[in-house]
Structure 1
Amino acid sequence: MRARTGISLFFFTNGLMMAGLLPRYPEIKASFDLSNTAFGLMVAISPLAAMLASALPAPLIRRFGAQAVSLGGTIVMALAVSLAGFAPVFAVFAIAIAIAGFTDSIVDAAQNVHGVIVEDAYRRTIINSLHALWSLGATLGGLVGAIAAGMHIPLGLHLSGVAAFTVVLAALATWLGRLPVNAAAETPVDAPTPPTKLPAGAWSVILPLAVLAIAGSLVEDIAFNWSAVYLVQNLGATAGVAGFGYTIMLGSQFVGRLLGDPATDRWGRVAVIKTGGVLIAVGGILVVTAPGLISVMVGYALAGFGCATVIPAAYAAAGRLPGLPEGTGITLVSWLLRIGFLACSPIIGAVSDLTNLRVSLCLLIVAGIAVFALAPVVRGRRQATTTA
């Protein structure tokens, strides 16, 4: 139970870390005088840097252990986010978010490897609850960011304060999450290893899981990078109000992830993911067609709730692929997922400059359809006998 508390708290800190930056994107965009295309490229810096780090989690985790890697990475992220808050010019800001994204990729892989092993030891589904704590942290971080924007608190002061608090929580999470010395998560051979040769047919399973995760992450990407900008540009919301769009999406995701574990145990992952795909598509339709603020917020909520279990399910399935060392499937899916993050925002920015942001957010509808269609790929051996 203590290990579950520790890894849950670590997911919370990872969600909290950078979330405060996101509701303040409209003012950052304005302060650096960025077009939608330039802004889309700016927010792609972090996932690009994350891709460059894709080979590092394996040796680091083997050498130092998953929790030590997560804590060290969190400290580096805190310093980078604080630097972004005080950046005097765009070049400094870009370097800071690149460092943060690079390190986040390492922390993400480490905490998910540890989370899957704790779930196996716990002998019941907890992966959605772990990701729910990430959503809760991101929701709280976004709420604080929205309030800070509304109160015109300087960006550097706001971000450095959140970063310091997060490091303290991460240290506590590391202490709580310690496993017995003979536990699998602390054994170096169980850390993710860069595969030199995958079993036959492995890519035919990994690639659909990655595409499913990318479709689910597109909702998160829009929440992170475009929800506030959309409310400001298309609906004339103030910076303080616009920040709540992100909070609503991630808050709904948090609720969906809390409900995801019992729903998965009762109806199976496939049925839950299919339902989520429908909700994402309906939410997307509301976002791009509804004329008023409340309707758009309802659309954000539906999309956030619908995507709740998509990435956890993809990671859980990837972490249990037969014939692969523990964590290798997660590492590969996580790396491919970063490619999706890298492409998404530049595409949205370029399409919105050619047309408008409302048109580009139709990608939410496409994502919902893709999630529904790809849901069967998360069916594990246990689901294969219980889920149609």
Structure 2
Amino acid sequence: MTPASRAGGDDGIAALVPAPHAVPVPVRRARRSATAAYAAQGFGFAVMLTNVPTYERYLGIGPDVITLVILGVCVCAATGSALSGWFAARFGSARVVTGGLLLAAAGILAVGLSAGAGLLGAFFVAFAVYGLALGSVDASTSMQGIDVQRAYGRSLIAAFFAANAAGGVVGSLAVSGAAALGLALPVSLALVAGVVVVAVLVLRAGLLSRTAAVAAAGEVVGSRKGRAPAVPDGAAPVPGAGGGAAERGEGEPGAAARGSAARGARGATGMVGAGTVLVLGAAMLAFPVADSAVSSWGATFLQGVLGASAVVGPLGFGAYQAMLICSRLLGDRAVERWGRVRVVASGGAVGVLGLGLVAVSPVWPLAVLGFAATGLGLGVVAPMAFSAAGDRAAESVAAVAGARPLAGAVTPTAPTAPAAPTAPAAPTVEEATDRAVARLNVFTYVGAVLGGVMTGVFATTDALRIGFGVLAVLALATVLLAGRFREAALPADPPGRA
């Protein structure tokens, strides 16, 4: 790794100025492929959701059945997310991404064919297959995103999530276009499935394999402003990111103390603890719950509670979605400038104010402004939660590497004593990250289910104000737990900023 320039400091830690031309070509290609994977996932998901009225017409079912289908998809997606950690550990997240997208394409095609044939049972099965694929791809794309971000040495995850949201916008427009052309549902969904398959064929070669992810983590070429890269010249590489035990600095004085102080370490396993995942999940939970509520009940609130016209009704969700994308497009730059904790805390606070404004708005323009503020504030929370999970994984592996003696080492005070028992091999940073991301992603679907339950409880127009007020209170958890989103504190890093 050859930095473009260095700036000295009292602590002797160099601050690198990123050199875009120095980013290895495979890493740049992986960034493009990961972006395409996020977009393809968002595209397919939007198509499946915005076709709900068409499903009802083809199958002669009502909203109650569709609600059960969506609930089933959430359960299957949570299962797929949990399983993705197991598959990624064995085959790498790149294969889970491509395999999951192909399975999603098959599910989309099957939904169209079964609905077109009027086969309700097959329709349920097809949606279950799609749900499994949805969860596995949601989790594995985040695994890839964090791997690429780690290779770049700076925040990229928010932009990846922006690509997902943009793909959703394109998917919604595609459904509108199919309706304008009069395409039958089986035909339109077959075309969508074909687009997803083509996307897989284009992006599959560029995704980071397990080996490439480990190698890239050892050749970071960029850094956050004012921070050294994860593996600066002359410093020990991040444990689990390549190199032998001695090269990882396991015997470095003070490494054990620093490692044991790192949050997220779970005993001596190197995996992120369940408590850490639970806290991050609770902190990000407001986003999927609010997202579900705004998309399902935003128009109803504007029209039924505030007396807006049918033309105005969709503006609430439109404003929310537009600012959500803006939040994610700007999120990485904001993290570089102010740090992840401040960005999440500020975003959560804006989300609280936005939802609160919706709840008390006397007129629809203020409510639309509240929906926009909600998207702007909470849109960045989910990507930063996954980024924080990646940092906790790095700390967990570093803690194990710092605390364990070298295999076969003999204590200097007892030269005749038997060699220290060899501890089980610590996971790599990538393996620990994949497991943490898979578990954290389950909270996305927990939030979607909670959003459905809340909208059921506050389904009458008179109670919708209370519902959005409850969401504002829920978003306070993001503000209160923002400190858990802190950046990694590793032996190779200078004292990090929040």
CA distance in 2, matches of 1:216, 1:46: 18
Does residue 370 of structure 2 align to residue 343 of structure 1? no
> What's 1:143 paired with?
173
> In the alignment, residue 484 of structure 2 is paired with which amino acid?
V
Are 2:207 and 1:177 aligned?
yes
Q: Which among 129, 132, 141 is matched to residue 99 of structure 1?
A: 129
Q: CA deviation at 1:264?
A: 0.6
Larger relative contact order (CA 8 Å, sep ≥ 6): 1
Q: 2:61 is matched with which residue: 32, 36, 43? A: 32
Structure-2 residue corresponding to 1:74: 101
Change (3 A) 1:146 1:290: farther
Map of 2:345 onto structure 1: 274
Tell me what 2:396 maps to: 323
Name the SS of the counterpart of 1:341 in structure 2: helix
Give 1:119 shift: 0.8
Please tell me the residue identity of whatever aligns with 1:74: L
Deviation at 1:338, TM superposition (A): 2.8
Give the Cα–Cα distance (whole angstroms) in 1 for the partners of residues 380 and 202 of structure 2: 27
Report the Cα offset of residue 146 of structure 1: 4.8
The answer to whether 1:310 aligns with 2:381 is yes
Say which is worse superposed, 273-282 or 104-113, in terms of deviation: 273-282
SS at match of 2:292: helix
- 2:45 pairs, out of 8, 18, 38, with 18
2:280 corresponds to which of 173, 189, 209 = 209
In structure 1, stretches of 5+ residues that fail to align are none
Report what 2:481 is aligned to: 374
Matched, 1:117 2:151: no
Query: What TM-score results when the alignment is normalised by the length of structure 2?
Result: 0.66
Give 1:159-238 correspondences, 5 Å limit. Answer: 159-178=189-208, 181-184=211-214, 202-227=273-298
Corresponding position of 1:2: 29
Contact kept in structure 2, 1:209 and 1:378, CA below 8 Å = yes
Cα displacement (A) at 1:141 = 1.7
Q: CA deviation at 1:100?
A: 1.4
Q: CA contact under 8 A between 2:389 and 2:433: conserved in structure 1?
A: no
Q: What secondary structure is seen at the aligned counterpart in 1 of 2:379? A: coil
Residues in 2 aligned to 1:29 and 1:76: alpha-carbon distance in whole angstroms? 24
Greater Cα shift, 208-217 or 55-64: 55-64
Residue pair 1:351, 1:357 contacting (<8 A) in 2 also: yes
Q: Is the 2:76–2:131 contact (alpha carbons within 8 Å) kept by the matching residues of 1?
A: yes
Match of 1:129 among 159, 167, 183: 159
User: Aligned with 2:396: secondary structure?
Assistant: coil
Q: Partners of 1:139 and 1:7 in 2: how far apart?
A: 18
| Pairwise CA distance, 1:348 | 1.7
Question: Structure 1: how far apart are the matches of 2:297 and 2:31?
Answer: 33
Residues 117-136 of structure 1: per-residue CA shift (max 9 Å, x gap): 11111111111111111111
Deviation at 1:167, TM superposition (A): 2.2
Give the TM-score of the pair, scaled to structure 1.
0.83
Q: 1:243 to 1:176 in 2, by over 3 A?
A: farther
Q: CA deviation at 1:138?
A: 1.5
SS in 1 for 2:384: helix
Deviation at 1:334, TM superposition (A): 1.5
TM-aligned CA distance change 1:243 to 1:210, over 3 Å:
same
The code of the aligned residue for 1:343 comes to L
Give 1:4 deviation, angstroms. Answer: 0.8
Partners of 2:362 and 2:301 in 1: CA distance: 12
Q: Work out which of the residue numbers 102, 107, 111 in structure 2 matches 1:84.
A: 111
Contact kept in structure 2, 1:43 and 1:345, CA below 8 Å: no
- Asked whether the 8 Å contact 2:93–2:209 carries over to 1, the reply is no
Alpha-carbon distance, 1:233 to partner? 6.1
Alignment match, 2:497: 386
CA–CA distance in 2 between the matches of 1:149 and 1:360? 33
Is the CA contact (8 Å cut-off) linking 2:42 and 2:167 kept in structure 1? yes
> Structure 2: where are the runs of 5+ without partners?
1-27, 218-239, 242-265, 398-431
Aligned-pair distance for 1:41? 4.0
Instruction: Kindly state the Cα deviation for residue 197 of structure 1 after the two structures are TM-superposed.
Output: 8.6
Once residues 185 and 372 of structure 2 are traced to their aligned partners in structure 1, the CA distance between those partners, rounded to angstroms, is 27
Go from structure 1 to structure 2 and tell me whether the alpha carbon gap of 1:154 and 1:201 turns closer, same or farther (over 3 Å shift).
closer
Q: Secondary structure at the match of 1:56?
A: helix
Distance verdict in 2 for CA 1:19–1:96, change over 3 Å: same
Counterpart-to-counterpart distance in 1, 2:457 and 2:128? 21
Aligned residues: 379
Which whole-Å CA distance do the structure 2 matches of 1:145 and 1:358 have between them?
31
Q: Is the 8 A contact 1:50 1:338 kept in 2?
A: yes
Indicate conservation of the 8 Å contact 2:355/2:371, yes or no: yes
Q: CA deviation at 1:295?
A: 4.3
Task: After TM superposition, give the deviation of residue 206 of structure 1 in Å.
Answer: 2.0
Contact 1:278–1:372 at 8 Å: present in 2 too? yes
Rounded to whole Å, the distance in 2 between the matches of 1:34 and 1:72 is 32
1:140-171 C-alpha deviation (Å, 9 max, x unpaired):
22333355567775444443323321221232
SS of the equivalent of 2:459 reads helix
Distance in 1 separating the partners of 2:468 and 2:477:
15
Contact (CA 8 Å) 1:24, 1:149: kept in 2 or not? no
CA distance in 2, matches of 1:237, 1:161: 34
Which of 41, 62, 65 is matched with 2:92 structurally?
65
Residue type of the partner of 2:450? A
Paired residues of 2:353 and 2:373 also in contact (CA < 8 A): yes
Question: Secondary structure of 1:21's partner?
Answer: helix
Counterparts of 2:35 and 2:56, CA distance in 1 = 33
| Residue deviations 1:195-218 (CA, integer Å, cap 9, x gap) | 999679933322110111211222
- What RMSD in Å do the two structures reach over aligned CA positions? 3.5
Say which structure is richer in helix. Answer: 1
